[in-house]
Amino acid sequence: MSDIYSAITLNPADADKIRQHLEKIKLAQATSPDAESAIAAASQEFNQFFEQYGKPYFTAHEFKTNDTARSSVYNENLITLDGDVARLYNSLESAAKATLTAFNFTTIISKEITDQANANASKVLDLNILNGYVKGQVIVAGDDFVDQAKIDKSIGIDTTRAEIMQGANALSLKIDSSIPITNPNVKVSITPVKPVGQDGNVNTAPTPLNLERFYEGKYYAFLGQQEPEGGVLQLKYIVNPASIPSSISTTTVNGQPVSQQDQVGAEAIAKQAQNNANFYAVVPATEDQKIANRSKMFDGNPDTYWQCEFVYKIEPLQDPLDNDSIDLESNNG
């Protein structure tokens, strides 16, 4: 039977609430010998848990004007608020652990699927080689040349060995010598063709979340694997001009004067919209930095390279919260 990852975990906030209710029931039983009182206290705690399930316990008692200050009300507010905040942090910690576990599980499954796909591809290659051959004294062997696991290097040969082209799944003759056709004075110019903005031009300027922008680097990557444009990631807090509304300074509407209160409210809405339009932009590298990075394509070092990306944000094809989207038990055997 295949291993199945269990994603069902108890919410730490619910577990903490259950523990607190059980402690109150235990305290009520210890302080009151009357059975009816203990049953009533237990019923009250159970009712509170189920009636407020998934809701905060913060009482939020208001302090009325000219009301007599009572420390019990103030303390109850602080105690319930502290409990909700503590449960929130526990839930965040649990969510972080679950995310890490799910990522590790997905990585392992992806590796297993890739290995299985490579094995199936190798079998298909063998079948293609065998197809058309007449069975008899002919021995047919094939390899996908993914690695050197099937190469016996201990056997001596008289001819020059062939080499595996890493990443190409192919063989090539061993290189005796090479002649460079470039020099340090070679200049590389990049002319992007996508993504095209609303103005019809290719966008290379900063955008929110660096989306729909031609970027000579690798911005979207795992932690520690990001390769910024120009070698250094530079962030700047700027305003998105496309999201800024026009300034509201009208004093009349349809010939009627606008009250000062409405005018102040409109200006506040405009100011809030401008604040929401701000974002951290990825500052583009200088042209000299880009030229130095582009020259890696011809520097003679196989470990250096040039890359670019542009990313679009699209709606998911399937709801990630849909429990019926993935059935892990369908292939049990």
pLDDT in tens, 120-160: 887 887 777 677 665 566 666 666 667 777 777 777 666 66
Asked if 230 and 289 touch (Cβ cutoff 8 Å), the reply is yes
pLDDT of residue 31: 78
Residues with Cβ < 8 Å from 129, sequence gap 6 or more? Answer: 140, 142
The pLDDT of residue 219 is above 80? yes
For 271, how many CA atoms within 13 A lie in the half-sphere containing its CB? 7
User: How far is 286 from 139, CA to CA, in rounded Å?
Assistant: 60
In terms of pLDDT, which residue wins out, 296 or 215? 215
- Cis peptide leading into residue 12 (ω within 30°): no
The pLDDT of residue 331 is above 80? no
pLDDT of residue 56: 81
Structure letter (DSSP) for residue 285: P
State the pTM of this model. 0.42
What is the DSSP pairing of strand 170-173 with strand 252-253?
unpaired
In terms of pLDDT, which residue wins out, 6 or 79? 79
| Number of helical (H) and strand (E) elements in the chain, helices listed first | 5, 6
pLDDT of residue 315: 83
Q: Using pLDDT thresholds of 50, 70 and 90, give the confidence band for residue 1.
A: very low
pLDDT of residue 328: 45
The pLDDT of residue 298 is above 90? no
